[in-house]
Structures are given as structure tokens and as C-alpha cells.
Amino acid sequence: MKKPWAGRFTEKTSKSVEDFTESISFDKKLWKYDIEGSIAHAKMLSKQGIISKRDSGRIVRGLKDIWTEIEEGRFRFREELEDIHMNIEAALIKKVGDAGGMLHTARSRNDQVALDLRLYVRASVEEIIGLLRRLETVLADLADGTLGIVMPGYTHTQRAQPVLLAHHVMAYAQMFRRDRMRFGDALKRINVLPLGSCALAGTGLPIDRQYVASLLKFDSVSDNSMDSVSDRDFALEFLSCAAVLMMHVSRMAEEMVLWSSEEFGFVEIADAFATGSSIMPQKKNPDVAELMRGKTGRVYGNLMSLLTVMKGLPMTYNRDMQEDKEPLFDTADTLRAVLSILPEMLKNMTFDAARLRQSSDAAFSTATDIAEYLVNKGLPFRTAHEITGKIVRFCLDNGKQLHDLDLESYRLFSPKIEKDVFDVISSSASVNAKKSYGGTSPTAVKAQIKRFRNSLK
Ligand code: ARG
């Protein structure tokens, strides 16, 4: 098949070059956006009197037929036509003849591919924002349902202070909220029309870029034709938002893996969301969480990949940029898969409330509360810290927990201690006391969930 650019060539392209340079095997994914963009372009060309209404009508009908053929799997993608743009254009010319040859007026594949990609990234971001919104709702529901459960909060993976499980869950909800906001912010820079920049310099023909922007629902039109065809910042921004999001997913997955281990025993993952071992009959493995953690690797890699492709490119379009697609597609597919299964997984976990409480009661995790108690009795915090440290040392040396000591033993460390000390050393008391804004008391957490839900609306 003759290539649209073959005019100045006298020899055929070698097969190995065709194999090496083709992108149709993966950029066929852009077909819908390519057709949408071409329809808008054809309408603009006729509105501006650059082509006739009649030809524009033929082009639009031809493109709609091609749409149906692709949708129904009847379209034959040809490697020798390199990419999605030339495949569709060649099919159009075959269908509608000379009119089809007018479509590429005042356009280059350079601004065309930038357009297709922006439409693809925009649609992906909108879908991901929807999935994140759903995840936020599921987490807020989970928090509401676990308000009564106290657990150890950790620093350095060492038990630190008791917290509500709901507070821990809401910490993730806040992360995913920020991720959604970050994608939303990126959308402002993604949603800019590059079409009409042509190869790099713009065109002498009287095009109307604002009109194309309004047809394709872009908020604005790019200001510099050279920048527009060489810019992939919007793709990089998408990939970096995705990398931060996957970092959050991975941290949560890591906790699910740890918490479902026998050593922690905090949570049981439902059978439907776990897998077994081919050799060890007793095993129930958290593979879904592990794979979510593992898939973070490819999403980081995709960001690095495109950053590296772009770093040495002189202005403007360079064929290197064809390497932008696979990392983008892979990241969008991965996010879609992860964000679809994660809420399901969360809804299929059972927390062991008794085990969580026992674990938070057992590790001197209310020691800070004793220090705060002594502060309330008038001691400087440093002195209170020292005294409480000595109490912990005494317990450790004698195999006791804080609630095992009687008042007399406590008073050996400070005469300021009275029997109301027993009101502060339980993990529930500790949690209830944390009424500061954003703290872990049930009142503060309920208020947090309420604010969170309000801004979800
Ligand atoms: N397949 C190419 C890409 O993905 C389309 C643009 C090609 N432009 C060019 N002048 N060779 O980047």
C-alpha cells in the first residue's frame, strides 16, 4: 500500500524499517480520539471555507463509518501505514475518494498525535477521578463502621499511642483525596488544544482554532505552535500524579499484608479476595494486596521512562516521542485495575477488634498519657517524661504492664500520682482524651468524617 508521504521517495521502505517504526500495534488504542479530532477539524475547515460543505459532509460520514467498522472489529489495521493517523486517513480516502485527501489540510501528524494523546489523557483522568471518589466514599464508610475499634498507632513500626482504627482508615482517605485533587489540578493543563499548530510553525490557511476547541470541549488553545507539538508535560504530569497515587496504594497494601499475617492478626481478608498455595495446604495469601504493591513498580518505571525519553530532545517534534504511548497506556490501565479492585477488597475485610485492643493495651502505649497526667498535676513535661520512663523501666524489669501496678507502686515514682491515674492508662481513655482538632478522639474523628463527606459532595 502506498504511503501518504511517499512522493519524494523512489525506493520502497525496507520491511525491517516498517517493523521498527510502526506504532499501529499500540496506538490503535487512540482510534476514537483520532476520529473525534478529525471530525472537528473537518467541520472547522468547511466553516472557514477552506473546503466545501459537501466535502466536509463526505469526510464526516466516512469517518463515522470507520468508527463503526473499528467498533465492530471489521477494520483492518495495516502495519505498512505506520500509525493510527495514517491508517484512518488511508481508509477514508479509499472510502470517499478526493474529499478524504482534503482532511489533512492545515494539519500535521505532529499536532494530531498531540491532540489524540491529550484527549486520551483527559478521558483517563476523568475516569480515575471518578474511581478515586468512589474509593474515598468506601473509606469514609469503613471509618464510620469502625469508630468503636481501638488499635495501636505506630511510629518506626513500634507501637506508639492508641488510635481509633477509623482514624487510621481516614488517614488513607485523606491521601486519596489529595490524589484526586492533584489529578484535577493537572486537568487544567491537560485540557488545552494543540491542533492547529500543524507541523511546528502554524499555517497560512485561515483556520479557527477556538472553534475546534469548543467542539472538542477544550478550555483553551495553546499559545505557541512549537511548544504544542514538542510538549509532553501533560503526559508527564499524569504519570507523576499516578506515581504518587500508587505510592499511597502500595503503603496501604503493605499494611494489609502485614495486618493479615499471623504475627499481627489484625484483619482477615475474605476468601474471595485471597489465594492459596499450590504446595502448602494451610496457606491463604494476600496476593491482591501484594500485586497492588508490586504494580507500583511499573507505574514509577513509566514515569522514569518518559522523563528519560524527553530529556535530550531538541525542539520540536522528534520521533523519539512515539515512545510516550506505551508507558501512558500501561499506567492508565494499571490505575483502572487497581482502583476498581481496591474498594472491593476493603469491603471484604474483617477486623479483629479484640486483638487490636489487646495489642494497644499491651505495649505501654499509654505512657505518654501518664506524662500528660503529670503535666496536668503541675510538673514540667521533661520531668514528667523522665518519671514515666522510670515507671516503664520498672514494668519491663518486673514483667508487668501499666495496668498491673497498684497506686502504691505508682506513688513510689511521684507523690503527685493519685488514684485518678487509672482513668488515663486504658487505651480507650487515651483515645478519648485526644480531642484536639484532627486528633483521634471519637468526637474529633466523627467531625473529620463529616467534613470529609461534605467536601465529597
Ligand atoms: N506515530 C507518531 C507518534 O506517535 C505520529 C507522529 C509522527 N510524525 C512524524 N512527523 N513522523 O509520534
Question: 359-456: what CATH class?
Answer: mainly alpha
Report the distance separating Cα 152 and Cα 160, nearest Å.
7
Question: Is the Cβ–Cβ distance between 443 and 435 less than 8 Å?
Answer: yes
Query: Is omega for the bond preceding 146 within 30 degrees of 0, making it cis?
Result: no
CATH 1.10.40.30 in the chain: give the residue spans: 359-456
Task: Provide the pLDDT for residue 248.
Answer: 98
The response to whether residue 322 sits with its C-beta less than 6 Å from ligand 1 reads: yes
- Give the number of the atom of ligand 1 that is nearest the alpha carbon of residue 321: 12
CATH 1.20.200.10 in the chain: give the residue spans: 110-146+165-354
CA of 372 to the centre of ligand 1 (A): 66
Angle at 192 between CA 104 and CA 322, to 5 degrees: 60
Task: Provide the pLDDT for residue 281.
Answer: 78
CA of 107 to the centre of ligand 1 (A): 13
CA of 162 to the centre of ligand 1 (A): 57
Q: Pairing between strand 192-193 and 220-221?
A: parallel
Protein residue whose Cα sits closest to atom 12 of ligand 1: 322
Q: Which long-range contacts (CB under 8 A, 24 or more apart) does 38-44 make?
A: 38/63, 38/88, 38/103, 39/63, 39/64, 40/195, 40/212, 40/215, 40/216, 41/103, 41/106, 41/107, 41/195, 41/212, 42/103, 43/211, 43/215, 44/207, 44/208, 44/211, 44/212, 44/215
Task: Provide the pLDDT for residue 58.
Answer: 98
Question: Is the Cβ–Cβ distance between 177 and 183 less than 8 Å?
Answer: no
The response to whether residue 316 sits with its C-beta less than 6 Å from ligand 1 reads: no
CA of 92 to the centre of ligand 1 (A): 19
Beta bridge partners of 267: 351
Protein residue whose Cα sits closest to atom 3 of ligand 1: 322
Question: What fold is seen in the domain 15-105?
Answer: Fumarase C; Chain B, domain 1 (1.10.275)
**Residue 277 annotated among the catalytic residues of the structure:** yes
The response to whether residue 107 sits with its C-beta less than 6 Å from ligand 1 reads: no
Considering the candidates 14, 16, 156, 455, report the single residue annotated as catalytic: 156
CA of 422 to the centre of ligand 1 (A): 73
User: Residue with C-alpha cell 494543540?
Assistant: 194
Report the distance separating Cα 348 and Cα 176, nearest Å.
19
Protein residue whose Cα sits closest to atom 1 of ligand 1: 83
The response to whether residue 109 sits with its C-beta less than 6 Å from ligand 1 reads: yes
Residue 116 identity: D
Protein residue whose Cα sits closest to atom 11 of ligand 1: 319
Instruction: Provide the CA 12 distance to its chain's centre, in angstroms.
Output: 45
**Residue 403 annotated among the catalytic residues of the structure:** no
Question: Is the Cβ–Cβ distance between 212 and 195 less than 8 Å?
Answer: yes
CA of 24 to the centre of ligand 1 (A): 11
Question: What fold is seen in the domain 110-146+165-354?
Answer: Fumarase C; Chain A, domain 2 (1.20.200)
| Substitution candidate for ligand 1 out of 109, 228, 313, 316 with most atoms within 8 A of CB | 109
The response to whether residue 232 sits with its C-beta less than 6 Å from ligand 1 reads: no
Considering the candidates 52, 220, 261, 277, report the single residue annotated as catalytic: 277
Task: Provide the pLDDT for residue 273.
Answer: 84
Question: Is the Cβ–Cβ distance between 284 and 273 less than 8 Å?
Answer: no
Please name which of 141, 121, 107 lies closest in space to residue 39, comparing C-alpha atoms.
107
CA of 14 to the centre of ligand 1 (A): 18
What predicted TM-score, i.e. pTM, was given to this entire model?
A: 0.94
**Residues of the chain where predicted confidence (pLDDT) is lower than 70:** none
The response to whether residue 87 sits with its C-beta less than 6 Å from ligand 1 reads: no
The response to whether residue 113 sits with its C-beta less than 6 Å from ligand 1 reads: yes
